[in-house]
């Protein structure tokens, strides 16, 4: 390695920052590629050393040695992949197109390395005689299974076919994501007639005016980012413009331009099917679910069909009620279409409960919400948060906090990133820059660095960032994921924090959402940003009363996404048909609103085509069953009950993937979950 290059590249040094956090202020785009290439070379050498070890294969010299390999590569690719999501640009995306095939090939070179697999298999075959700890057993099983699931048992032509398919898949998913981001950023609806803004709240108009002004345009600019799109669809009186914006959003990546994802959807679904079949499975869902709590497609469909049966009658009533309201205003021939749903839902909610998002915004100023959410963790778990401006960040809007445990010891670093930018993908997520592990030689517990990334309402020239109630729930959700990362206490990085079964990972996040309607919690922070008045009890009661408003429709919407996901990944023959038609057929049982023939979800459904939720979107509903059942214990004992919180931390949040999730859940709850608590919470039962 060139010493001059090494001296200039921060990835090649031990970070000289607080807690060895990423020195974002020193990292340039040109640093990634040489660090990735050197990381690949270093891991190759580490793998070769394992293979060439003349001693008999043992857990320490093979399994642990493999688990500890690739530190430099992990260090640089973690930052690189996170920046592709949170702060990307054309140069980074071009580099991704260049290095992703190299990374895919390197990964294949490891899992298809016969000599390495032989040594792992040697240890695996004698595991019952090795007196391993529970965690060591889990690590050995996970690594062995991972090799098998990534082609280690394939031979000859099948191995080469596997290489080719996985390389193709890595490029397809990257292109899918980039197209989605670019198409989202590309669209703008500029309005110059103030009459077109009728119905919109002042804060929404201010934001739209500032968006236009930032691009030296006159008028009000609306985009497909959630803080712009959602309020427009909810409040704009102009139906024609709602229709226009709806179609722009729901036809993303279907147009005759360079961002079209239709053929990419086909190719991703077909490539995953071929990989699964190459590995001996009938379809990709069978392959994926083998390492999930659900285990089989039948179990997933059983849950989705249970929810369909339980919620459909109520969802149909909800639609009819909104249709009736709309017809009172528009006449008996009026049909509520998808671009009318949010608008008339909001009107009905206001009529029934005297409540809408704009009434609540003044009580949810972002700084106060942060105090509330951090304060909730302090009250439940005794942890504290201290902003540290010496920790470098990747954008001026990002803040970094040191987190301390109840005994005052350093626990983690938490980054927060709240607002939309052109370089940030849509949605909200939690991620890690460094996982937790325990050094086997020194016993040092190396603590994690985690980040929560959102796309919340921005401050304007006249107002601070005032969140919607939905954004408060999203904050709690992602913060729940971050607690799972921050409380991690595993020996091995591979089993640490959120490295759990995908249909279990949403339990720590979704359980936190339950606090959003609890008066005791809201009273800790929800104050009017101008007057300082605490949110009135009567307003909280309206939030509680309305908490199940359109709950059945919302459930079926999630079920429809689960059905669509399963339809793509239970296929055992290649798909060459019409993506829109296939989609409409796949989820028709869960559709309550009239079908819009031009709309297409699949072409922008990053969760299942570019994220980790392929054959896994059902996980949100699966985990909702868990979180409703789990939170019922908090409700029973008190929402701030220390005993319950300590048990949740000890048995769920700190354990990561060290044991099977159902074992952990039953240890916390004392029983397996049933759907009853969810039905009761949603007012269905």
CATH of the domain spanning 252-333+548-685:
1.10.1370.10
Amino acid 6: pLDDT: 62
Amino acid 29: pLDDT: 97
Amino acid 440: pLDDT: 87
**Is 84 within 8 Å of 100 (Cβ atoms)?**
no
Say how far residue 226 (Cα) sits from the centre of its chain: 16
d(CA 424, CA 236): 26
Which entry of 478, 513, 583, 624 is annotated as an active-site residue?
478
d(CA 82, CA 101): 18
DSSP code, position 20: G
Catalytic residue status for 155: no
- Nearest to 436, CA basis, from 498, 389, 377: 498
Per-residue CA distances from 91 to 80, 174, 560 (Å): 12, 14, 37
Is pLDDT above 80 for 129?
A: yes
Give the chain's radius of gyration (CA, Å): 25
- Protein fold of 362-533: 1.10.1370
Amino acid 685: pLDDT: 83
Q: What is the overall mean pLDDT for the chain?
A: 96
- The CATH-assigned architecture of domain 3-153 is Orthogonal Bundle (1.10)
Amino acid 3: pLDDT: 54
Per-residue CA distances from 615 to 33, 216, 273, 550 (Å): 32, 44, 11, 26
d(CA 220, CA 237): 16
Q: Read off the pLDDT of residues 555-566 as tens digits, 9 standing for 90 and up.
A: 999 999 999 999
d(CA 20, CA 31): 18
In the chain, which segments carry CATH 1.10.1370.40?
A: 3-153, 362-533
Mean pLDDT in residue range 149-164:
96
For the record, the structure tokens of 126 come out as: 């004698």
d(CA 607, CA 325): 34
**Is 255 within 8 Å of 355 (Cβ atoms)?**
no
CA dihedral for 264, 265, 266, 270, sign (positive or negative): positive
Amino acid 2: pLDDT: 54
pTM reported for the whole predicted model: 0.94
Is pLDDT above 60 for 666?
A: yes
């Amino acid at each position: 390695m060139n010493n001059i290059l090494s001296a200039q590249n921060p990835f090649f040094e031990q970070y000289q920052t607080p807690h060895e956090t990423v020195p974002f202020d020193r990292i340039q785009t040109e640093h990634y590629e040489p660090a990735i290439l050197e990381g690949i070379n270093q891991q190759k050498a580490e793998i070769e050393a394992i293979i060439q070890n003349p001693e008999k294969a043992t857990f320490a010299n093979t399994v642990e040695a493999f688990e500890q390999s690739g530190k430099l590569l992990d260090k640089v690719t973690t930052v690189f992949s996170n920046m592709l999501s949170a702060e990307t640009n054309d140069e980074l995306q071009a580099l991704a197109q260049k290095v992703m095939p190299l990374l895919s090939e390197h990964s294949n070179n490891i899992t298809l390395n016969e000599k390495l697999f032989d040594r792992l298999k040697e240890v695996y075959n004698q595991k019952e005689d090795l007196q391993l700890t529970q965690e060591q057993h889990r690590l050995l099983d996970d690594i062995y299974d991972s090799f098998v699931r990534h082609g280690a048992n394939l031979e000859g032509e099948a191995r080469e076919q596997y290489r080719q398919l996985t390389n193709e898949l890595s490029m397809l998913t990257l292109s899918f994501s980039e197209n989605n981001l670019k198409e989202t950023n590309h669209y703008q609806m500029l309005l110059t007639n103030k009459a077109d803004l009728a119905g919109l709240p002042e804060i929404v108009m201010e934001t739209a005016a500032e968006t236009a002004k930032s691009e030296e345009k006159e008028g009000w600019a609306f985009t497909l980012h959630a803080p712009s799109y959602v309020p427009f669809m909810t409040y704009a009186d102009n139906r024609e413009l709602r229709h226009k914006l709806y179609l722009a959003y729901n036809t993303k990546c279907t147009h005759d331009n360079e961002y079209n994802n239709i053929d990419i959807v086909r190719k991703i679904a077909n490539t995953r099917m071929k990989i699964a079949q190459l590995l001996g499975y009938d379809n990709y869902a069978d392959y994926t679910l083998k390492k999930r709590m659900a285990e089989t497609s039948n179990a997933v469909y059983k849950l989705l069909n249970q929810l369909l049966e339980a919620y459909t009658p109520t969802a149909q009533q909800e639609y009819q009620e909104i249709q009736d309201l709309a017809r009172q205003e528009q006449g008996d021939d009026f049909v509520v279409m998808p671009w009318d749903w949010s608008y008339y839902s909001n009107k009905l909610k206001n009529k029934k409960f005297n409540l809408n998002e704009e009434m609540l915004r003044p009580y949810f100023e972002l700084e106060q919400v942060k105090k509330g959410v951090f304060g909730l963790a302090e009250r439940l778990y005794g942890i504290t948060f201290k902003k540290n401006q010496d920790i470098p960040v990747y954008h001026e809007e990002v803040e970094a906090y040191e987190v301390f445990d109840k005994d005052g010891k350093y626990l983690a670093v938490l980054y927060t990133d709240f607002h939309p930018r052109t370089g940030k993908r849509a949605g909200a997520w939690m991620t890690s820059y460094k996982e937790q592990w325990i050094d086997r030689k020194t016993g040092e517990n190396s603590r994690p660095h985690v980040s929560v990334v959102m796309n919340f309402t921005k401050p304007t020239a006249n107002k601070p960032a005032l969140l919607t109630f939905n954004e408060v729930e999203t904050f709690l959700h992602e913060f729940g994921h971050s607690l799972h990362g921050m409380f991690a206490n595993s020996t091995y990085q591979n089993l640490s924090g959120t490295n759990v079964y995908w249909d279990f990972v949403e339990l720590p996040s979704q359980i936190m959402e339950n606090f959003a309607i609890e008066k005791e919690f809201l009273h800790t922070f929800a104050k009017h940003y101008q007057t300082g008045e605490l949110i009135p009890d009567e307003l909280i009661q309206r939030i509680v009363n309305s908490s199940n408003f359109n709950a059945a429709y919302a459930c079926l919407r999630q079920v429809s996404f689960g059905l669509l996901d399963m339809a793509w990944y239970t296929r055992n023959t290649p798909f060459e048909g019409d993506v829109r038609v296939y989609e409409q057929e796949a989820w028709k049982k869960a559709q309550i609103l009239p079908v819009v023939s031009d709309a297409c979800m699949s072409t922008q459904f990053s969760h299942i085509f570019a994220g980790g939720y392929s054959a896994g979107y059902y996980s949100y509903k699966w985990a909702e069953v868990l979180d409703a059942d789990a939170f019922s214990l908090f409700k029973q004992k008190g929402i701030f009950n220390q005993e319950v919180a300590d048990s949740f931390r000890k048995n769920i949040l700190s354990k990561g993937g060290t044991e099977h999730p159902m074992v952990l859940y039953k240890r916390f709850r004392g029983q397996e979950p049933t759907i009853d608590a969810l039905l009761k919470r949603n007012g269905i039962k």
